Amino acid sequence: MTALDEIRTILTTVLGDYVLDDVEITRDMSLTEDLGLESIDLVTVGAMLTERYGSQVNLAAFLAEMDIDDVIAMKVGTLVDFVADRSAPSLATER
């Protein structure tokens, strides 16, 4: 499973009933504008990432270095690259 696949699974879980039917989550989608994630959802995503990959994948620390506008505009691909960079080498080449 690639990092994108794993992020798709996490985002689908967080979105729950709000996930868009028959729409595939792609790297170019915005987390907030396209997928409708709220800031509190990012807390859940962060907890799921840490649970899945360990403390080295610290989304809160990553986001704390960004401006709020960049957080709101963040795309799925940015999240995928972050996870791939911080997690096990097996995902780093499979984005």
Partner 1 sequence: MAVAVVNDVLTHYEHMPARDGTQRSAPKVVCVHGLGYDSLASFYLTLAAPLAEAGVDVLTYDLRGHGRSHRPATGYRLGDFVDDLVSLLDLTVGPEPVHLVGNSFGGTIAFSMAARYPQRVRSIVAIESEPATGIWSAKMGRTFRNTVDAMSDEANLAWIAVTFGNHYARLTKAAAAMIRSTTIVEQVAAGPLLDEQALASIRCPVLAILGGEGFQSDDLGALGAMLPDCRTEVIDGQNHSVLVERHPLVRKLLLGWLAEHDPVGLLADGTPP
Cα Rg, the chain, nearest whole Å: 12
- 13 within 8 A of 19, measured Cβ to Cβ: no
Q: What's the closest the beta carbon of residue 53 comes to partner 1, in angstroms?
A: 15
Sole binder of partner 1 in the list 25, 57, 63, 84 (CB under 8 A):
63
Sole binder of partner 1 in the list 13, 61, 88, 90 (CB under 8 A):
61
Q: What's the closest the beta carbon of residue 14 comes to partner 1, in angstroms?
A: 11
Classify the C-alpha dihedral 34-37-43-44 as positive or negative: negative
Site string for partner 1, 32-51 (x = CB under 8 A): xx--x-xxx-xxx-xx----
- 83 within 8 A of 3, measured Cβ to Cβ: yes
10 sits near partner 1 (criterion: CB under 8 A): no
